[in-house]
Amino acid sequence: MSVEQAGILRLGGEVPVHRLGFGAMRITGEGIWGEPPDLDEAKRVLRRVVELGIDLIDTADSYGPDVSERLIGETLAPYPSNLVVATKAGLTRPGPNTWVPNGDPAHIRRACEGSLRRLRLDRIELYQFHRPDPKVPLEDSMGELVRLQNEGKIRFIGVSNFDVEQLERASGIAKIISVQNRFNLVDRASQPVLEWCERRGIAFIPWRPLSTEGLEGGPIAAIAKRHNASLPQIALAWILVHSPVMLPIPGTGSVKHLEDNVGATRIQLEPAEVLALTAVGRGA
């Protein structure tokens, strides 16, 4: 079992990664807060990620906060030469399940320096602005990312939870090589953003890619049965064929669930199945 069948995408046109990454949000406690309930299992998940050939791990300083990054650094550093550890800044955490935007340049700088320490890196390969802050001009937040890039603290710049208008503004300030928005069979509100990425050959990193809420009784069940697969596996297989710039990052705190997610790459959906799945979620 490996991610070889997912195919390859080149970040920034330079760095090859398989088109199935790992989202490290769930290796924390309930509410994405504090330590994981089973620390040993969380570390086993991280080690298994590497064993399965996954070469992009996505995290953020706000996951825990700090916990996800710290565990990645403790468990995997020094990293395999082909492994990209991407992280994000721009959200603060006053408590469990609570997320507050902070795009202040000073905060972004402190967050970046903290991430470098926790991840045990000299440079972050992909650093992403987690969410625009309505209280801070986008130009100020993006400008700080460019300064960090010029200082050699980050290599590539990405953004998350952006709309097309914000992307146009941001791309006038920095070279954007990835966009991370919610996208799945059920929620396709970011389709215009995906198309923006496709036109530019930019990686689109869908978060929450496995959702099938409300679709359980439809065609997806028959398709899953035909392929001897779970509904989330079918949802992930559809994500992978929906666009060549897709780079999903399903996350979990369980080795079994991780292996199930990687198993989705073996599924070869028929054209009629792809059309049926595309139609069933349209307008959701």
Neighbours of 37 (CB within 10 A): 11
Residues catalogued as catalytic:
63
Contact between 88 and 25 under an 8 Å Cβ cutoff? The reply is: no
- Type of residue at 148: L
Do residues 236 and 209 make contact, with C-beta atoms less than 8 angstroms apart? yes
Strand duo 22-23 + 203-204: pairing: unpaired
- Which residue type does 18 have? H
DSSP secondary structure string, 22-73? EEGGGSS-TTTBSS-S-HHHHHHHHHHHHHTT--EEE--TTTBTTHHHHHHH
Which helix or strand (DSSP H or E) is residue 265 part of? Answer: none
Rounded distance, CA 188 to CA 206, Å? 10
Please state at what angle helix 67-76 crosses helix 105-119, rounded to 10 degrees: 30
Which distant-in-sequence residues (6+ apart) come within 8 Å of 200 by Cβ?
none
DSSP 66-113: THHHHHHHHHHPSPPTT-EEEEEESEE-SSTT--EE---HHHHHHHHH
Instruction: Give Cα 229 distance to the centre of its chain.
Output: 23
- d(CA 283, CA 133) in angstroms, rounded, equals 28
